[in-house]
Amino acid sequence: MLTRIRNAGSAQLPTVEVPHSRLKESLANVLKEEGYVAAVEVAAKGKAAKVIRLQLKYQGRKPVIEGLRRISSPGRRVYVSSAQIPRVRGGLGIAILTTPEGVMTGVDARRKNLGGELLAHVW
C-alpha cells in the first residue's frame, strides 16, 4: 500500500486504489486525519473484492507526501514503548503505530501512554 501511494505521488496521479483490509483502511484514515490525503473511499470492485480509493493531495505539482517509509515488516517486527516512539523529521512528519486501541499517530500514542508496533514514517 505504501509503495503504491509513493509511486502514485511521484507520477502525479489524482487517485490510487489498493486492495482492502481493515489495517489498510485504518492507515488510510490516519493519513486523511493528518492531512496527507484528501479523501478515503471504500468501494466494491467486481463481485466481492473491495478496494480503498485514496485521493492524493498536491501543493502545486509537488505531492504533500514527500516521503513514506515502512518500518516494521513481516521479517522484522519493530515494537516500541510510549517512551521510545520516534519523532519523525524533528516533528515535521508522523510515525504510525498499531496499538491496543487501534492504529494511530505517534503523538496520539505518546499522549495516551501507549506503545505498539511501529508501521511507518510519513513526512
Of the listed ranges 16-30, 42-56, 61-75, the least confidently predicted one is 42-56
Which residues, other chains included, contact 85 with Cβ-Cβ below 8 Å and sequence gap of 6+?
A: 95, 97, 106, 109, 110, 115, 118
Return residue ranges of the chain for CATH 3.30.1490.10.
67-123
Q: What is the pLDDT of residue 46?
A: 77
Q: What is the pLDDT of residue 43?
A: 94
For domain 67-123, the CATH architecture is 2-Layer Sandwich (3.30)
Which residues, other chains included, contact 43 with Cβ-Cβ below 8 Å and sequence gap of 6+?
A: 50, 51, 52, 53
Res. 45: pLDDT tops 90? no
Mean pLDDT of the chain: 96
Q: What is the pLDDT of residue 48?
A: 78
Q: What is the pLDDT of residue 84?
A: 97
Res. 2: pLDDT tops 90? yes
Model pLDDT for residues 57-82, shown as the tens digit of each residue: 999 999 999 999 999 999 999 999 99
For domain 1-65, the CATH architecture is 2-Layer Sandwich (3.30)
